[in-house]
Amino acid sequence: MTTIRDYRPFGRTGVKVSPLALGTMMFGGKTEYDESARIIDLAIEAGINLIDTANVYSRGRSEEFTGKALKRNGQRHKVFLASKVHLPMHDTDGNLRGSSRRHIIEQAEDSLRRLDTDYLDLYQIHRPAPDTAIDETLRALDDLVRSGKVRYIGSSTFAGWQAVEALWAAKELGLNRFVSEQPPYNLLDRRIERELVPVAQTWGLALLPWSPIGGGLLSGKYRKDSKPEQGRYVDPSPMQARRLTPQIYDVIEPLTQLAEEKGVPLSQLALAWTVQQPGVTSSIIGPRTVEQFDDALASLAVEFSAEDLKRIDAIIAPGTHVAPFYEADFSASRYRW
């Protein structure tokens, strides 16, 4: 099994993290506890020290499984443990969602309980919230940091201007600032390269890309003339259906050819490309099975020549997209701090 030996700075914090992060979205849903715990054990054994979850994953079961596994193996102290808040935890209660102080404080306590830990290493706002003043959000997060329940704070899927606004507000108000941003980034959607990557590089934000293989579209299972019998996009949700554009195959087909020439699966090529992009700190993998975890770990051995990178840029140009992943409410804030 590949063992990770090279760790990357987590923004400007002084913390070092592995180039792959273990995402736990499948845990508690499609992946039951025993398999989830096995994947966590293997990840730590391989040197992965960043585990990312969220309150909304399987309505809390992902956090419960993660906490139980870390309790059982006694490895909590080795892990940089991250969770998120914002997305709805209840279909009807409008206050069980969003980035208000009420929701953030309440859900932080619930996440700590489910994860069976005294603190979170990283607590992230899962999506931007233009209906909430950024100082409301930052003051609540700052209180969590000062109380010792959270070590660092970050964002997910923010526009470049929203990340800068948050940094500006934190500086002006003397609050703890975001140290990381978690955006979608893959060979079907490279739009973060336009503004968000330069923002992260300029202001010292760690970048934690999610969906590096396009939610499975870059797994190698999806080809223009053949579809798998099972997979996330076989019976897609409305959001997933919007990503199944005809243009994705104009990218998938030539990338598959490149992967075959290099003797690796498309999934490993796609993940390795993301891991090796400028500004990227740690790419989040989301394995459903041990086999998928092993496949992701093997991507760390994939190397690219300058000619390979030129071919990839010709297939999917920098800053462009053929499937919409980088989407959130990027509109102007309705309330100024």
d(CA 265, CA 187): 15
φ and ψ of 121, to 5 deg? -70, -35
Q: Are 4 and 47 in contact (CB under 8 A)?
A: yes
Among the options 57, 222, 233, 326, which is catalytic? Answer: 57
State how far the Cα of 162 lies from the Cα of 90, in Å rounded to an integer: 26
Q: Which of 119, 124, 48, 113 is nearest to 85 (CA)?
A: 124
- Cβ proximity of 170 and 177 under 8 Å: yes
d(CA 332, CA 330): 7
Q: Hey, what's the torsion of the CAs at 21, 27, 30, 35, to 10 degrees?
A: 90
Planar angle of CA 106, 41, 110, nearest 5 degrees: 5
- Residue 87 is inside which H or E element, if any? none
Our answer to whether residue 57 is catalytic in this structure is yes
> What's the CA gap between 248 and 268, in Å, rounded?
18
User: Which of the 8 DSSP states describes residue 157?
Assistant: S
Between CA 215 and CA 286 the distance in angstroms is 9
The distance in angstroms from the start CA to the end CA of the chain is 50
Nearest to 99 by CA among 112, 110, 85, 109: 85
Annotated active-site positions, please? Answer: 57
